[in-house]
Structure 1
Amino acid sequence: MGGLYDADQVELCLSASHKMTKNILAQKAFTISFGTKKYLDACDYVGIVSGNDVPDKIEKAGFTLQKSEIGNAPIIQELPLCLECSLIKQSEEGNIIGKIEKINVDEAYIDENGIDIEKMELLSFDPIHKVYRIVGRVVGHAFAANAQLK
């Protein structure tokens, strides 16, 4: 789990026992690849299986990796959106704070209007219902939807 920490920063909520936490602290870099409907099963698998128990879980899921330009962190080639981040710090609670250094987007999802998020069919986990949902539909414009209240 995680989210935006600041305009150009992210926060990951990972326990110290995660292999990913150990790798991030050692490498001082990490990536965040966004799951899609097309790869739902594989994304669910890598999200619930521990790298401590199954070291080749990425390969078992059918994903191929390439090295990030930001440190020694992997990019999952099959997923269309990836944030390459450098480690800023680990918070007192153990959360990982990183700076977004680069955003990678598969060209198939870029059109004259920019990045087509709806076409990507990005996944979002709904913890209340324990289901995955697809991100996409625009319902308002940030920092402008409140105009009639000012």
Structure 2
Amino acid sequence: MKKRLGPNPYIYPQPVLIVSTYGEDGTPDAMNVAYGGIVNSNRLQINIGVRHKTSDNIKVRKAFTVGIADEKNLIPADYVGIVSGHDVEDKVKKSGFHMIKSEVVDAPYVEELPITMECKVEEIKQYDQTLRIVAEIVDVIADEKVLTQDGKIDTSKLHAISYDPSTHDYLKVEGIAGKAFHDGDQLK
């Protein structure tokens, strides 16, 4: 039997995304964004509240980076999500993250995170108190430690974490369940 749970954001797995920006004065900022994902092969979307420093920065700079949080960086990744850049001046420094200036967009990225997408804003739309931001993925930076010999992401080395909106836990994302574009062939 199924039970109705009401309108909730129960998509699994839900990536833990660290969005990094520069403020108007060039100060780096980072924020844990719970709601975001891929729009198509070279675009992504993030959804963040209008009150965030990151929202202000994105509106001004029209660029940001998105790092994939991993188990090793869970504590600083959570910290940048629970502390506001409006309230804590040296938020990034306190997190322990080190910011590197992107070579292709007007934003920094977190050195410690294994994968970073560098993004240019294409569209910002406001819904109530939330911004939906669609951006072009200009380039992806990956630590060689998480790559296969032929330059693809090796998820067994990535140790990405996922957010559970029901329990507010961080979950490990690991292991292969099957082969996409192949396993369904059994039913042909």
Name the structure with the higher strand share.
Answer: 2
Are the aligned partners of 1:8 and 1:99 in contact in 2 as well (CA < 8 Å)?
yes
Match of 1:48 among 65, 68, 82: 82
Contact 1:27 1:71 in 2 (8 A): no
Name 1:8's counterpart in structure 2.
42
CA deviation after TM superposition for structure 1 residue 149, in Å: 4.1
Cα offset for 1:102? 0.6
Select the residue among 158, 170, 177 that pairs with 1:120: 158
Match for residue 170 of structure 2? 132
Counterpart residue identity of residue 119, structure 1: K
Partner residue of 2:114? Answer: 80
Distance 1:92 1:40, change over 3 A: closer
- Residue 105 of structure 1 and its aligned partner are, at CA, apart by 0.5
SS of match in other structure, 1:91 = strand
Runs of 4+ displaced beyond 4 Å: none
Aligned residue for 1:64?
A: 98
* Residue 53 of structure 2: aligned partner: 19
Alignment gaps of 5+ in structure 1: none
What is the TM-score of this pair, normalised by structure 1? 0.91
Contact 1:63 1:76 in 2 (8 A): yes
* Cα separation, 1, equivalents of 2:132 and 2:187: 36
Residue 43 (structure 1) shift: 0.7
TM-score by length of 2: 0.74
Corresponding residue of 2:133: 96
CA contact (8 A) 1:34 1:82 kept: yes
Q: Work out the percentage of aligned pairs sharing the same amino acid.
A: 37
Deviation at 1:52, TM superposition (A): 1.1
Instruction: Verify the 8 A CA contact 1:85 1:100 in the aligned structure 2.
Output: yes
Q: Is the 8 A contact 1:123 1:132 kept in 2?
A: yes
AA in 2 matched with 1:10: L
Mark the runs of 5 or more structure 2 residues left unpaired by the alignment. 1-34
Q: How far apart are the structure 2 equivalents of 1:47 and 1:149?
A: 44
Structure with larger Rg? 2
Residue 66 of structure 2 corresponds to residue 32 of structure 1: yes
Q: How many residues matched?
A: 150
Match of 2:6 in 1: none
Give, in whole Å, the separation in 2 of the partners of 1:26 and 1:145.
46
Taking the aligned partners of 1:35 and 1:129, their CA distance within structure 2 comes to 18
